[in-house]
Homo-oligomer: A and B are copies of this chain.
Amino acid sequence: MTDIPPDRRPSHLDGSLVPGFTGSPLDRVDAWRQDPAAIMKALNDPRACLLRMEGLDPLLDADGALDWGHLAEAAWDAELALLGLIGGIPRFVALTPAVPHAARRSPALNGMLDYLEPAQAATYAAARSLIDWHARHRFCANCGTPTTLYRAGWGRRCPGCRAEHFPRTDPVVIMLAEHAGCVLVGRQRSWPTGRYSALAGFVEVGESIEEAVARELAEEAGVVATSVRYLVSQPWPFPSQLMVACIAPVADAALHLDQHELEDAFWATREDIRAALAAEPDARFIAPPPYAVAHTLFARWLAEQAD
């Protein structure tokens, strides 16, 4: 856990049941995207705002909220995407071709995410995923021709083969195997010292959420799920995953770890989870940050145990 001054800790931190990156006040006005007149009206609205960013990081105002500027602040070579409306005011983001890969987070951003309210982070998530997708999808995957933006930034189309392309959202399952009142936590070699989390993996074509959960648990830890229960979801803008959090009871606690995926894993007790969420100095492991759905998953599982 980072050391956030207690008076700056937003209410969502530490064991909240509300997932991070959710609750954006954005009205996405889908109908406007297909209406050139509505897009022009939004662009010419004198109140229209641009999300202030530095590369892929948001700029925050004095209150620690997202900062909004005037559309004229956009770089001359940037295209604009209409995120939607907040408070009836059109909100845009500038799409720039040269941005770092959105799968990587800057240290500055990690610090900001500890403070940012989930609803603010949610609006940022939509912007970041959109910027990244445009930056890395400027050519038609079907024929190689440079594509052009359309639908107010919610798609690109090919002038060559007429293929239409839409921003990707990759579903990922993240799950706690459960056995005898404990849940399975694991760590990857690349993670910060002491950090453990729920296991996770991409949902593949031709499988359900439930099947992906069972497959990942079998592949990574050698445990066999007897059932799968959905709990909660959140977007994860690094670059654009949809995290689907589940609980999966297993019949046998014996672990057979895939050493390529996991450096270590163990069965955590309720007390282990409670201490980790509270960031106690002698906790058995360091929990993922509150804005990660794994944190919410731990918190919800713990709350259920108390019921």
Residue pair A206, B260 in contact (C-beta under 8 Å): no
Contact with B along A1-40 (1 / 0, CB 8 A): 0000000000000000001011010101011000000000
**What chain B residues lie within 8 Å of A123 (beta carbons)?**
206
Scoring A residues 244 to 282 as 1 if CB is less than 8 Å from chain B, else 0, what string do you get?
A: 100000000000001010000000000000000000000
Nearest chain B residue, comparing its CB with the CB of A154: B204
Q: In the complex, A81 Cα to B130 Cα: how many Å?
A: 31
Inter-subunit contact B168/A208 (CB<8 Å): no
A205 touches B237 (CB 8 A): yes
Contact stretch, chosen from A59-67, A104-112, A133-141: A133-141
Cα distance A171–B21 in the bound complex, in angstroms:
17
Quick one: which of A203-253 are within 8 Å of B by CB? Answer: 203-211, 215, 219, 230, 232-235, 237, 240, 242, 244
A257 to chain B, nearest CB (A): 13
Across the interface, do B136 and A163 meet the contact criterion of CB distance under 8 Å? yes
Bound-state Cα–Cα, A24 to B205, Å: 12
Query: Does A202 lie at the interface of the complex (its beta carbon under 8 Å from any beta carbon of B)?
Result: yes
A22 and B210 CA atoms in complex are apart in Å by 9
Residue of B nearest to A230 (CB): B230
Min distance, Cβ A227 to any Cβ of chain B, angstroms: 13
Question: CB distance B166 to A169 under 8 Å?
Answer: no
Given A204-B126, A206-B235, A215-B28, A169 and B167 touching (CB < 8 A)?
Answer: no
- Docked complex Cα distance between A65 and B28 (Å): 44
B211 touches A169 (CB 8 A): no
Contact B166 A24 (CB under 8 A): no
A136-B142, A140-B139, A143-B139 given; A208·B130 CB < 8 A? no
Nearest to A237 among chain B residues (CB) is B206
A79 within 8 A of B: no
Interface bin, chain A: 35 or more
A200 within 8 A of B: no
Whole-angstrom distance between the alpha carbons of A126 and B205 in the complex? Answer: 5
A140 to B209, CA, bound (A): 28
Contact A22 B208, beta carbon cutoff 8 Å: yes
Task: Report the separation of the CA atoms of residues A295 and B72 in the bound assembly, to the nearest whole angstrom.
Answer: 50
A126 to B139, CA, bound (A): 26
Q: Contact at A205–B144, with CB atoms within 8 Å?
A: no
Interface residue A44 (Cβ < 8 Å from any Cβ of B): no
Residues in B whose Cβ lies below 8 Å from that of A19: 208
14 examples of A-B residue contacts, CB within 8 angstroms: A22-B210, A24-B206, A24-B207, A31-B260, A129-B206, A137-B141, A139-B144, A154-B204, A168-B205, A171-B242, A205-B235, A208-B242, A209-B233, A244-B244
Could you list which residues of chain A lie within 8 angstroms of chain B, going by C-beta atoms?
A: 19, 21-22, 24, 26, 28, 30-31, 122-123, 125-130, 133, 136-146, 154, 163, 165-171, 202-211, 215, 219, 230, 232-235, 237, 240, 242, 244, 258, 260
